[in-house]
Amino acid sequence: MKIFVGLISLISILLVTLAGPLYKFGLIDLATAFAGFKFGVFAGIAALVLLGIQLLFKRDTASIGSALTSAMLAITAIAIPLSMMNSAENVPPIHDISTDLVNPPEFVAIAPLRADAPNPVEYAGVETATQQRAAYPELQTLRYSQSKSELVGATKQAIDNLGWELVNVNADTGIIEATDTTLWFGFKDDIVIRITDNGSKRLVDIRSKSRVGGSDLGKNAARIHKLIEELDDVLGE
């Protein structure tokens, strides 16, 4: 029974952890990847139940090492999807975040790269803005005293520091575009930064949008925060 319990727990963790890479490299679609999550949880629960039965009725077939390993694998397989579900419940089901909700920065060079993406390049609209305003009220237009050219250079450096792919830089219009590819699933999320003059100040707006998925689990807001922090570090703010 020890081997059977170990096998089920191993299957559970593989169903969960391999879902991302298999989708990332185009071997399965997103629905299949999420199905792997679901069956991974079921397998993890089954492994824990079987482990409990083994420890109660066939303790002589179990060892401390095998029991702990099986339990750890099964619990991890259950915890990862549940953690993601918990994150989804604690953030609004949106995937388009901007510091300017009235006139969000528009994608230019990235627009054709999103032609086949499930989420269109256009801003998601008033309902999304309302939900963002309630969830992330701190995300607003930034104001800097540096020149536009200085901010363009600093933004390029910040993007490079974060490991994102720089797609477009237009110093004249103050538009910088980049793509961030997530490590596990390989999701591509796009970022556009707009720098405009406003008297003695420069206004900086940032927009981050997922190419796929209804809810971003808070990733786009977190990405904007990371960029702001990195930009301030580069500028010495």
What is the pTM (predicted TM-score) of this model? 0.91
pLDDT tens per residue across all 237 residues of the chain: 778 889 999 999 999 999 999 999 999 999 999 999 999 999 999 999 999 988 888 777 768 888 899 999 999 999 999 999 999 999 999 999 999 999 999 999 999 999 999 999 999 999 999 999 999 999 999 999 999 999 999 999 999 999 999 999 999 999 999 999 999 999 999 999 999 999 999 999 999 999 999 999 999 999 999 999 999 999 997
Give the single-character DSSP code of 212: S
Question: 31 CB contacts (<8 Å, ≥6 apart)?
Answer: none
Q: Rounded to an integer, what is the distance from CA 160 to the centroid of its chain?
A: 18
Q: Are 62 and 2 in contact (CB under 8 A)?
A: yes
Separation in Å, CA 91 to CA 22, 71, 132, 221 = 27, 30, 9, 10
